[in-house]
Structure 1
Amino acid sequence: MTIKAINVRNQFKGTVKEIIEGPVVSEIDVQTPAGIVTSVITTRSVHELELQIGSEVIAFVKSTEVSIAKL
């Protein structure tokens, strides 16, 4: 599969570090140069994408809201 164009500005290339698989959704930790990005996707998608530890992926981050708290 080749991605020709996508309208997401925040893209982080990395490798899958950990997969916590659940019956419906799974948690995927991706190690990027900026740190770890965690995604929650369907377990079905994990299998269809054939994700495993060490897989090279791109994490696309698109959000309509970002919250912060002062420490």
Structure 2
Amino acid sequence: MAITEINVRNQFRGKIKEIIEGSVVSEVDVETPHGIVTSVITTRSIKDLDLKVGSEVIALVKSTEVSIAKIQ
């Protein structure tokens, strides 16, 4: 499958560093050039996508809310 067009602007290419698998949902840590991006997805999706540590992926980040905290 190739992604040719998508409306999500925040895309981070990386490799899966760690998968913490749960019975229903799992955490997937993706190592990108900009740092680690963590996704919580269903365990079923991990199996359906055949995701494994070392798999090359694109983390797509879409949010309707962005919180900001001031650094002092």
TM-score (norm 1): 0.96
User: How many residues end up aligned between the 2 structures?
Assistant: 71
Structure 2: how far apart are the matches of 1:18 and 1:33?
16
Percent identity over the alignment is 75
Aligned to 1:62: 62
CA-atom RMSD in angstroms: 0.7
Shift of 1:69: 1.7
Task: Give the letter for the 2:14 counterpart.
Answer: G
Large movers: runs of 4+ above 4 Å: none
TM-score (norm 2): 0.94
Shift of 1:68: 1.7
Structure 2: how far apart are the matches of 1:67 and 1:56?
29
Gaps of 5+ in 1: none
Gaps of 5+ in 2: none
Structure 2: how far apart are the matches of 1:70 and 1:5?
35
Structure 1: how far apart are the matches of 2:47 and 2:24?
12
